[in-house]
Homo-oligomer: A and B are copies of this chain.
Amino acid sequence: MASRIWAGLLWSSFFVVSLSAVAEGGQNIEDFVQKRPACKAKYFKQKLDHFSFRKQHVFEQRYVVCPEEWKEGGPILFYTGNEGDIMLFLNNTGFMFEMAKELSAMVIFAEHRYYGRSIPFDGKTLNATTLPWLTSTQALADYNDLIISLKSIINGAKNSPVIAVGGSYGGMLAAWMRMKYPATILGALSSSAPILQFGDTLPCNTFAQIATRDYQQASQTCVDTIKRSWGIIADLWRTQDGRDWLKDTFHICNALDNDKIKMEDFRVWLFAGWTYMAMTDYPYPTSFLKPLPGWPVKEACKFLNDGSHFQTDRALLKGIFKGISVYFNYTGAVKTCFNLSESSTGSALGEIQWDYQACSEVVIPDCTDGKTDMFYSRPWNKTEYAANCRKNFGVKTNFDAALREYGGSNLKYHSNIIFSNGQLDPWSGGGVLTAPSPTITVILIEDGAHHLDLRASHPKDPQSVIAARAQEVGIIKRWIKSAQTVENDLDDTW
């Protein structure tokens, strides 16, 4: 899930926050196949445009099929890939394979168009000319066509019920698949999907408020200290001397000269560090794009808990540096300095692509106010946002697109969806938190961060996620049983 901020005139492309891309292992199919030799990566010829009949461009969509646990006629668990190389999600969604075992299911991971190796216009640059078919609606139609085709090809899959599974933006896609293609998708497990976080539905700092609450659980002092830091930074930024001190203290490679790197870029870098930790506040060490300890928020707050350490403003910022380093340099691998022009998430994610989606159709309002959250005043400026999008992609931002296409919070006529959210996850505020219909189940995971439930089971898993996973499997079993009962009834009758 990406959160997109433009810091002044800088297009802060280093701020894709896609936690779905947390890797448990390697990212190459080769690595993966060593771990799961039954899985095969394949390609499917996909239409670039499902909704017009122009002379068709096609592209090769990658997907991975893992039939290891499958029994003929058994269900298919279909991961609706999100904004990155599908291998990242494959390695990050161990729960799929645990479910497969219990359900005798086939596992399929489908890569989202324009990401990983599923790039249209082979070889051409991704820009305003080639990107316009990168939309969620086209991606859903891809998945629908892929599923229908695979079911007709794979022996014994013709009547297999299909369950869509996804986390973050992939969780949105899983829910939307069920909503738009219920004849193809029997039900969806939509984890950590903020499908309500569009338009004016929620306060724009919902994400920041929940991140703040996470740090509050570590300690109020931690929050107070972070909150104080922004004013101190602003004071220091005013003089060359102050900026030099910040550059030295925070080990920044770049010159902080107001032309290249503005104060807002620096603040956004810090904001990214704090909120990344909140999103991945997992109970055990994870090897993220950067490695993190278990419960990183608590770890970071260890350096910020005791207010008395910070007799002076500069002493406080030194504590801030130690805290933020839990995210940016936990293993100490960075020996020299941090480059603010670099991505915070590494190269595997499709950043230009997500920037484009955030600029066109998947527009999530984002701000901080420094009052109800621990950050500073950064308003949601639609005009500026749209201007940046026009400048960078020549695209006209459609702020209401997702609400109009998917109906926002009016979900009462939909069925067979599990919306799970971890209460530590800053994205949970935009999730579906009360059941809108009798056949939609909401699961709140008390000690869960961003789609913890989709990760492989772990000895340090809190009870809440163990219970959530059991509930999820139970519901999916009921869907499948009920669908098969109906099929049998029809067989008897006709």
Contact = CB atoms under 8 A, between A and B. Distances in A.
Interface of A: 49-56, 131-135, 137-138, 141, 144-145, 148, 180-184, 356, 360-361, 394-396, 398, 400, 404-408, 410-416, 486
25 contacts: A49-B52, A50-B51, A50-B137, A51-B133, A52-B52, A52-B133, A52-B135, A53-B135, A53-B360, A53-B361, A53-B395, A53-B396, A56-B396, A144-B404, A148-B400, A181-B407, A182-B410, A182-B413, A182-B414, A183-B406, A183-B407, A183-B410, A412-B486, A413-B415, A413-B416
Contacts of A55: 394
Given A396-B56, A413-B415, A486-B412, A51 B137 contact: yes
Contact of A408 (B137, B144, B183): B183
Contacts of A400: 148
A391 to B, nearest CB: 15
Listed from nearest, the 4 A-B pairs whose CB atoms lie closest are: A183-B407, A183-B410, A182-B413, A51-B51
A202 to B, nearest CB: 15
Contacts of A53: 131-132, 134-135, 356, 360-361, 395-396, 398
Nearest to A133: B52
Given A49-B51, A145-B404, A182-B413, 18 more contacts: A51-B52, A52-B52, A52-B132, A52-B133, A52-B135, A52-B138, A53-B132, A53-B361, A56-B396, A141-B405, A148-B404, A181-B407, A182-B407, A182-B414, A183-B407, A183-B408, A183-B411, A184-B407
Q: Name the residue in A148, A182, A408 with the highest tally of chain B Cβ atoms < 10 Å from its Cβ.
A: A182
A420 B131 CA distance: 43
B184 A135 contact: no
A396 B56 CA distance: 9
Contacts of A398: 53
A135 B51 contact: yes
Contacts of A182: 407, 410, 413-414
Q: Name the residue in A132, A405, A412, A413 with the highest tally of chain B Cβ atoms < 10 Å from its Cβ.
A: A413
Q: Name the residue in A51, A131, A184, A400 with the highest tally of chain B Cβ atoms < 10 Å from its Cβ.
A: A51
A54 B407 contact: no
Nearest to A54: B132
A183 B198 CA distance: 15
A180 B133 CA distance: 20
Nearest to A135: B51
A50 B222 CA distance: 47
A138 B50 CA distance: 10
A441 to B, nearest CB: 16
Nearest to A52: B132
Nearest to A408: B183
Contacts of A361: 53
A361 B49 CA distance: 13
Contacts of A395: 53
A52 B134 CA distance: 7
Contacts of A416: 413
Contacts of A410: 182-183
A148 B405 CA distance: 11
Q: Name the residue in A144, A181, A400 with the highest tally of chain B Cβ atoms < 10 Å from its Cβ.
A: A181
A318 to B, nearest CB: 46
Q: Name the residue in A52, A394, A411 with the highest tally of chain B Cβ atoms < 10 Å from its Cβ.
A: A52
A410 B52 CA distance: 24
Contacts of A131: 53
Nearest to A55: B394
A52 B132 CA distance: 5
A118 B207 CA distance: 43
A261 to B, nearest CB: 31
A138 B51 contact: yes
A188 to B, nearest CB: 12
A356 B134 CA distance: 26
Q: Name the residue in A131, A181, A183, A416 with the highest tally of chain B Cβ atoms < 10 Å from its Cβ.
A: A183
Contacts of A135: 51-53
A180 B183 contact: no
Contacts of A408: 183
Contacts of A486: 412
